C-alpha cells in the first residue's frame, strides 16, 4: 500500500522517500554510515553475551546510551 502522505528528503538533484520521522532525520543528516556502524557494533556486542553478568553490563551500557540519545532526538524533532 502506498503512503498517502509520504515524507521526502531532497539532496541536490536526488529525492528520497523517508519511511518515517527517524528515517527522515537519518537521511537528512547523512547518518546512514554512522547508523550502519552502530548497528554492526551492537550486533557484535550482543553476540558476546554468554552469561547473565555480561548481559547486565551490556544492558546497562545500552540504557546509558539511550538515556543520552532520546533527549537529543526529541530536541531535533521539535525543530
* 5-55 tens-digit pLDDT: 678 888 888 888 888 888 888 888 888 898 899 899 999 999 999 999 999
pTM of the model: 0.64
Cβ-based neighbours of 18, under 8 Å, separated by 6 or more: 6, 7, 8, 9, 24, 27
> Residue 63 — pLDDT band, cuts 50, 70, 90?
very high
The alpha helices in 1-79, defined as continuous H runs, are 21-28, 32-47, 52-77
pLDDT at 24: 82
Q: Is 9 helix (H, G, I), strand (E, B) or coil?
A: strand
pLDDT at 31: 84
Q: What's the first-to-final CA gap in the chain, in angstroms?
A: 30
pLDDT at 3: 63
Amino acid at each position: 500500500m502506498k503512503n498517502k502522505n509520504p515524507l521526502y528528503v531532497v539532496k541536490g538533484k536526488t529525492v528520497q522517500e523517508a519511511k518515517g520521522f527517524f528515517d527522515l532525520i537519518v537521511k537528512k543528516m547523512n547518518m546512514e554510515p554512522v547508523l550502519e556502524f552502530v548497528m554492526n557494533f551492537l550486533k557484535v556486542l550482543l553476540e558476546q553475551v554468554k552469561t547473565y553478568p555480561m548481559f547486565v553490563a551490556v544492558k546497562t551500557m545500552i540504557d546509558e546510551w539511550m538515556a543520552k540519545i532520546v533527549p537529543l532526538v526529541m530536541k531535533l524533532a521539535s525543530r
